């Protein structure tokens, strides 16, 4: 028997449901993305940090993505598991997944923080901190304080989709918004008034993360649909395996991005040293700083993409569990159309307004080489952003349907085979330009595969729906 509290997921129009769940999710992820972006904006406009600070921020950024990858693996996996379980009228499994996920998030955050603090030197060196002495010093300082906040970051980000699955997307949005607002308020105080430099930027971020995590703890005590009992906190291998298998695509899409960023950062170090301009000591940090900024803009766009798709996870999971495939198909169509429009808007921005974008990140304080390279980077690196948006939406929607194998395959091909492969191969012929070409080439080839999976998904939903209809008729 279906609970009145969640049956609306298969009765309300899918467009209305998508708006109800996706908008708070988009805002939550956008706000979460602002943590690192806001730091970089203030760092870039501090005359005593500038592009060296930007380069340091770029070095540390992938390491925060690793923490996010682990958080969303648990959180998105639990969200999908809970939604499917509620669709099947199995609240016990939903509660068990939620309880197990709370424990996993706490343990993962503490362990990752310890690893970062113990092995900080080899870790930041791997991601390009050895570019020059000043970049290394600022990367090391920023990374130390960010590492202290990792347990709070993992817990807050991981609980966000779980809170959405419990039917409270607005609370999830508000908790993330509070943390980001604190970061925005404290960044200028710590960086400009107190002149704490990279440590100040990191401290503002960590304080915001603590606030988000604290609200998540408060929410656990008043969960509505999936409030876990004390016994649900005991880890169950079966529940853990199922939860993580549903979240593995979220993990791989993030962690494989880290591999691509590591490859890109190292290729920038190698081929920047061969460039007639950027081989000069005073300009050596520019390519890494600029590519980091371009990726931050891309992160804003992808946060909207992921938010729209992830907001659909409870709706998709519930309707798949309830056998409402027609509604799932309609939702998939709406999502793909919305992502294509978003990608088109982003493409217009990067192709026609790159100078305005780079000015936000302190271009006025830098040389002309900084702006020139940034314009090229925006226009080339993000030239296929429409395909990138559709590809990412496809990853997540397949995951929400429980098609972990197809989703994982597509994500791995995009980020590891293409993302890392082309980042390593193309610079051999085109140098720094090859680093920029690696992104659009990867997105074009991934889109070709995604089209095949999209067609197959529509077909499977139609066939499954017909099978379900035939079965119902046979029992009359």
Confidence of residue 248 (pLDDT cuts 50, 70, 90): confident
Question: At CB < 8 A and 24+ separation, what contacts does 182-186 make?
Answer: 182/207, 182/208, 182/211, 183/34, 183/35, 183/38, 183/39, 183/207, 183/208, 184/34, 184/38
**Does any domain span residue 12?**
no
Quote the pLDDT of residue 167.
Answer: 84
DSSP 114-182: HHHHHTHHHHHHHTTGGG-HHHHHHHHHHHHHHHHTHHHHHHHHHHHHHHHHTT-HHHHHHHHHHHHHH
Token readout for 328 is 């799932």
Give the pLDDT band (50/70/90) at residue 112: very high
In a domain, 13, yes or no: no
Report, as an integer, the average pLDDT of 220-238.
90
| CB neighbour burial string for 380-404, b if at least 16 within 10 angstroms, e if fewer | bbbbbbbbbbbbbbbbbbbbbbbbb
pLDDT at residue 1, rounded to an integer = 38
Residue 25 and residue 169 in contact, taking contact as beta carbons nearer than 8 Å:
yes
- Choose among 212, 176, 183, 419: nearest CA to 307: 176
Task: Name the 3-class secondary structure at 262.
Answer: helix
In a domain, 124, yes or no: yes
Question: What does the pLDDT read at residue 261?
Answer: 84
pLDDT at 352: 96
pLDDT at 3: 44
Q: What does the alpha-carbon distance between residue 326 and residue 468 come to, in Å, rounded to a whole number?
A: 11
Sign of CA dihedral 391, 6, 94, 464: negative
The sign of the dihedral angle between the CA atoms of 224, 226, 229, 234 is: negative
Would you say residue 469 has pLDDT above 60?
no
pLDDT for residue 472 is more than 70: no
Structure tokens given for 351 = 């192709």
Binned at pLDDT 50, 70 and 90, residue 445 comes out as very high
For range 124-135, the mean pLDDT: 89
In-domain check, residue 476:
no
Residue 463 has pLDDT above 70, yes or no: no
What confidence category does residue 4 fall into, taking pLDDT thresholds of 50, 70 and 90?
very low
Tell me the percentage of the chain whose pLDDT exceeds 90.
Answer: 52
d(Cα 186, Cα 183) in Å, to the nearest integer? 5
Q: Which of 53-62, 182-191, 401-410 has the highest mean pLDDT?
A: 182-191
**Residue 115 vs residue 29, higher pLDDT:** 115
- Is residue 289, in this structure, part of any structural domain at all? yes
Output the pTM of the full model: 0.77
- Assess if residue 473 is contained within a domain: no
Please determine, for residue 85, whether its predicted confidence score (pLDDT) is greater than 70.
yes
DSSP 231: G
Structural domain for 56, as ranges:
18-466
Asked whether 317 and 84 are in contact (CB, 8 A), the reply is yes
Residue closest to 54 by CA, chosen among 290, 240, 344, 325: 290
Identify whether 270 is part of a domain: yes
**Confidence tier at 176 by pLDDT (50, 70, 90):** confident
Q: What is the mean pLDDT of the chain?
A: 88
Query: Which pLDDT tens digit goes with each residue over 279-291?
Result: 998 889 899 989 9
* Burial label, 265 (beta-carbon count in 10 A; 0-12, 13-18, 19+): buried
Does residue 4 sit within a domain? no
| Average pLDDT rounded to a whole number, residues 238-255 | 85
- Give the number of domains in the chain: 1
């Amino acid at each position: 028997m279906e609970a009145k509290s969640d049956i609306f997921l298969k009765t309300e129009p899918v467009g209305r449901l998508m708006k109800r769940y996706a908008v708070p999710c988009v805002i939550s992820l956008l706000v979460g993305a602002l943590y690192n972006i806001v730091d970089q904006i203030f760092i870039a406009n501090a005359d005593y940090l500038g592009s060296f600070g930007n380069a340091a921020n770029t070095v540390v950024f992938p390491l925060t993505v690793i923490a996010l990858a682990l958080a969303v693996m648990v959180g998105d996996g639990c969200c999908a598991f809970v939604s499917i379980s509620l669709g099947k009228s199995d609240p016990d499994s939903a509660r068990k997944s939620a309880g197990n996920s709370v424990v996993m998030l706490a343990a993962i955050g503490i362990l990752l923080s310890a690893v970062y603090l113990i092995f900080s030197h080899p870790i930041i060196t791997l991601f390009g901190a050895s570019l020059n002495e000043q970049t290394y010093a600022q990367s090391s300082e920023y990374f130390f304080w960010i590492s202290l906040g990792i347990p709070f970051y993992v817990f807050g980000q991981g609980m966000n989709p779980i809170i959405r699955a419990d039917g409270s997307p607005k609370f999830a949005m508000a908790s993330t918004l509070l943390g980001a607002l604190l970061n925005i308020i404290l960044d200028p105080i710590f960086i400009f008034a107190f002149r704490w430099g990279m440590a100040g930027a990191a401290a503002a971020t960590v304080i915001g993360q603590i606030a988000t995590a604290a609200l998540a703890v408060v929410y656990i005590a008043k969960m509505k649909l999936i409030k876990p009992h004390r016994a649900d906190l005991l880890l169950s291998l079966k529940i853990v395996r199922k939860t993580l298998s549903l979240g593995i695509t979220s993990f791989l899409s993030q962690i494989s991005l880290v591999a691509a960023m590591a490859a890109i950062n190292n290729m920038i170090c190698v081929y920047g040293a061969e460039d007639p301009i950027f081989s000069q000591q005073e300009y050596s940090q520019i390519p890494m700083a600029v590519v980091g900024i371009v990726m931050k803009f891309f992160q804003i766009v992808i946060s909207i993409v992921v938010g729209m798709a992830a907001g659909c996870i409870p709706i998709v999971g519930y309707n798949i569990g309830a056998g409402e495939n027609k509604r799932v198909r309609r939702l998939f169509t709406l999502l793909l159309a919305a992502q294509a429009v978003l990608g088109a808007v982003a493409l217009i921005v990067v192709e026609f307004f790159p100078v305005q974008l780079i000015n936000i990140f302190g271009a006025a304080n830098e040389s002309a080489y900084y702006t020139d390279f940034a314009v090229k980077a925006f226009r080339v690196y993000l030239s296929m952003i429409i395909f990138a948006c559709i590809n990412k939406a496809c990853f997540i929607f397949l995951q929400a349907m429980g098609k972990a194998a197809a989703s994982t395959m597509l994500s791995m091909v995009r980020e590891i085979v293409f993302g890392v492969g082309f980042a390593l191969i193309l610079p051999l012929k085109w140098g720094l330009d090859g680093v920029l070409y690696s992104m659009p080439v990867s997105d074009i080839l991934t889109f070709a595969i995604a089209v095949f999976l999209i067609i197959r998904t529509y077909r499977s939903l139609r066939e499954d729906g017909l099978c379900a209809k035939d079965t119902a008729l046979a029992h009359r």
